[in-house]
Amino acid sequence: MVERLPPAWLVLGSIASVQSGAAVAKILFEVLPPGAVVWLRLLTSMVLLVLVVRPAVRGHSRTDWLVVLGFGASLALMNWAIYQSFARIPLGIAVTIEFLGPLLIAVLGSRRRLDLVWVVLAGVGVTLLGWDNGELDPVGVAFALLAAAAWASYILLSAATGQRFAGMSGLALASMVGAAGLAPVAVAEAGAALLDWRLVAVGLAVGVLSSVIPYTLELQALRRMPPRVFGILMSLQPAAAALAGMVLLGEFLTPWQWLAVGCVIAASAGATRASGAPGSRGAGRSGAKPSG
């Protein structure tokens, strides 16, 4: 049935699922700390990837393993930081700031003067985010910026990993690294709450919404859609996050903040179109952010 749907619908369905998962995660923060929720999400995606990919662990050099360890660390940091940001500032604002990471990579990967326009447009968007809202938590903003930096690192390390590991084996191994690295954080933050099967079930549901469903839809879409078009559609993530925050969390952005979201979306889509890069979390948000 999925194969019969237009690929653009699949991408939009993936976006809706990811941001719905982020909203559910934020609701879950009331009873389970962000670190524990993001660990359950990573655990879900790790199980999916390992079962599907069955990565080989032999025949790799020490350098290969260092690269995949760095990949896994950036994956864990990216997810942990954006969930910490979700806990402090509106969903739409957090995702908008986080998108500066892939936007920077797309701009740096192009030699066109037009890319300066996208940089300026993104800068205007970020400035507008706090234009008329002095209550925006600076710690939440800092975590979103950290997630953006980790996402940029993730993109670079993803390329390096892809050169050293066949198919998605590197991503599967990196997801194992990320889940293992965040396990102590989850246990320390949540403690006995992780023994409550109801909370764990909701956390795993977040993983399904944020990882399993998008991962499946995006793979199907990429088989029938040019990567550049896919990347431009994925640039709609900040708007989807803002809508999910409004509908599911009652987080209403100001007109200035909506304008800021629009600026970052336009900058991301423009830079992606110019560079030809996917500019998505395809692996990151589905398999790896398997950013809210």
User: Is residue 291 predicted with pLDDT exceeding 60?
Assistant: no
Among 60-64, 130-134, 283-287, the range of highest mean pLDDT: 60-64
Q: Phi and psi (nearest 5°) for 137? A: -65, 120
- Least Cα distance to 72 among 168, 179, 159 occurs for 179
d(CA 126, CA 90): 14
Q: 79 near 41, Cβ under 8 Å?
A: yes
The pLDDT-based confidence of 284 (bands split at 50, 70, 90) is very low
Residue 102, pLDDT score:
84
The pLDDT-based confidence of 35 (bands split at 50, 70, 90) is very high
What do you get for the CA distance between the two ends of the chain, in Å?
26
User: Is residue 210 predicted with pLDDT exceeding 80?
Assistant: yes
Instruction: Find the DSSP H helices in 165-210.
Output: 169-190, 197-207
The pLDDT-based confidence of 129 (bands split at 50, 70, 90) is confident
Instruction: Report the pLDDT averaged over residues 107-130.
Output: 77
Q: 290 near 75, Cβ under 8 Å?
A: no
pLDDT in tens, 246-263: 999 999 988 888 999 999
Using only the alpha carbons of the chain, give its radius of gyration: 18
d(CA 152, CA 211): 19
Instruction: Indicate the residue type of 209.
Output: L
Q: Is 111 helix (H, G, I), strand (E, B) or coil?
A: coil
Least confident of 60-64, 134-138, 171-175: 134-138
Residue 135 in tokens: 């209550």
Q: Which residue has the higher pLDDT, 91 or 215?
A: 91
Instruction: Indicate the residue type of 60.
Output: H
Each domain of the chain, given as residue ranges in start order, spans 2-288
pTM (2 d.p.):
0.87
pLDDT in tens, 161-189: 888 888 788 888 999 999 999 999 999 99
